[in-house]
Amino acid sequence: MPYPVLRLKPKKEVSLSRRHPWIFSGALSGKPDGLAEGDKVYVADARGYILATGHYGTGSIAVRILDFEETLIDAAFYESKLTKARLLREVLGLPDADTTGYRLVHGEGDSLPGLIIDIYAEHAAVQCHSAGTERDFPLIEEALRRIFGSELRTITGKRADGEKTAVNHSEADAPERTEFREYGHRFFSDTAKGQKTGFFLDQRENRQLIKRHAKGRKVLNAFCYTGGFSVYALAAGAREVHSLDSSKRATELAADHVAENCSDTSRHRILTRDALKYLGSDSARDEAYDLLILDPPAFAKHRSARHAAIQAYKRLNARAFSIAAPKSIVFTFSCSQVVTPELFYSTVAAAAMESGRHIRILHRLHQPADHPVSIYHPEGAYLKGLVVFVE
């Protein structure tokens, strides 16, 4: 038997029968001596019957399930999983001539907890959110090579904290920025120093929706990061676009993207400011924005921070609603997994009441199809958004 066996307490196998991919530490009856973070393990019921295979963790999530049976986790295993993930993207029409950046693996949504793989044209950016996937990086890289062959020039790996997972033979050739296309627009993924894998692919369809509403409007893209929404708004004929972020590096990337995609950049302005403070200022009110985009980073990554996050979302939206010109449109988002869609919507409603404006919902938004959610793991639906009309 290649892996240690972790036994569950009686009746704690119910979550496995429902195919939920996490085993919490409280469900275990004990663990073998010498078990280390990231080790591959079998999970057995109280009688010793093996039910699943996964990666062991020392936190509250004790096991991330990779397969709901006894199996061997090797390059062939990852090749099978990644092949299935690629087939789904092909069903979605990804990639195509106009869009060469997409998510190949979305953790639990592709039955690979702790693993994210984004494809940027000829480059694969792997992000490991667990010690197990980090230790398996060489197997993952080998599987990618087998599946994609010469289609991939470079593969790089990062841990969730941004550090490299390993120094591998392809990393030396990887450029700091990797060019790709999204709906015909040219972007660069800052894979070396950027957040996550270097670009937020999860807003692709929501950026496309901006084109329906931006023409002739004055746009504030708050928390702009690399300026994706700004590029789409300018392409749609926005009267003026302000890209706002507290990070100088982010606003420099936003400016680069606008310059790359727009022959006339005179309608674009960079604001390196704190978004919440700016939205509460008279100068923001005087701009009379009539399309505002609020796409902040996760205000809460753990349940303990959820209350503070809700208050932050409320303040942010209330200030945006207060300064918005009459007949404005606001795109507002939360990527905090612990903030449910219902909680987010009620928070936006509370902000609307505080602002005293009459507001109507035009669209309810979520992550795109290449960021799939397993029906057995609803926690994977992390991105939620609203498009509202402010009278």
Residue 178 phi, psi (nearest 5): -115, 125
Alpha carbon 174 to its chain centroid, in Å, reads 22
Instruction: Report the distance separating Cα 253 and Cα 255, nearest Å.
Output: 5
Active-site positions read: 335
Non-local (6+) Cβ contacts of 267 within 8 A are 234, 238, 239, 240, 241
Instruction: Report the distance separating Cα 111 and Cα 149, nearest Å.
Output: 23
Non-local (6+) Cβ contacts of 125 within 8 A are 117, 118, 119, 156, 158, 178, 189, 191, 197, 198
Amino acid at 234: L
Among candidate residues 337, 370, 331, 373, the one with its CA nearest the CA of residue 117: 370
State the CB neighbour count (10 A cutoff) for residue 212: 12
